[in-house]
Amino acid sequence: MGRKTTKTNPNLVGLISKLKEASRVNEAPVWRDIALRLEGPSRNWAEVNISRLDRYASENETIVVPGKLLGSGEIGKKVTVAAYRFSGQAKDKIVNAGGKDLSIEELVAKNPKGSKIRIMG
């Protein structure tokens, strides 16, 4: 029989409930999608490399990574990236390319409707 496990990290639990609330209040299904992805087991979370952002993202696009952004590869585009976690190298590469790194909470505060956001992972 499968056991139902609950998240024990209070920051993550808070983030998930904030995302669901933002989804309801602003009628933005994108936040609920991200919340459901973060509710799953962390071994199933997205791990996205910088090289994938460079390949698929457009200039000045906003990307959400419901998991960890890793520093492998190079990026030559100015993008705004929100992720649950960043590797140190990944943060440096985004900033050096002229982009911005945000937490998911900061992105929800800046863009409550969730418009023009791409989920990668």
Q: Is residue 88 part of a domain?
A: yes
Q: Is residue 3 part of a domain?
A: no
pLDDT of residue 3: 60
Q: What is the pLDDT of residues 49-66, one digit of tens each?
A: 999 999 999 999 999 999
pLDDT less than 50: residues of the chain: none
Q: Please calculate the CA angle 38-62-55 and round it to the nearest 5 degrees.
A: 95
User: pTM for this structure?
Assistant: 0.91
Q: Is residue 62 part of a domain?
A: yes
- The domain containing residue 109 runs over which residues? 10-119
pLDDT of residue 121: 86
What Å distances lie between residue 112 and 7, 10, 34, 109, CA to CA?
25, 22, 13, 6
Q: Is residue 105 part of a domain?
A: yes
DSSP-assigned states of every residue in 60-88 = T-EEEEEEEEE--S---S--EEEEEEE-H
Q: Please calculate the CA angle 105-110-114 and round it to the nearest 5 degrees.
A: 85
CATH of the domain at 59: 3.100.10.10
pLDDT of residue 93: 95
pLDDT of residue 68: 96
pLDDT of residue 1: 53
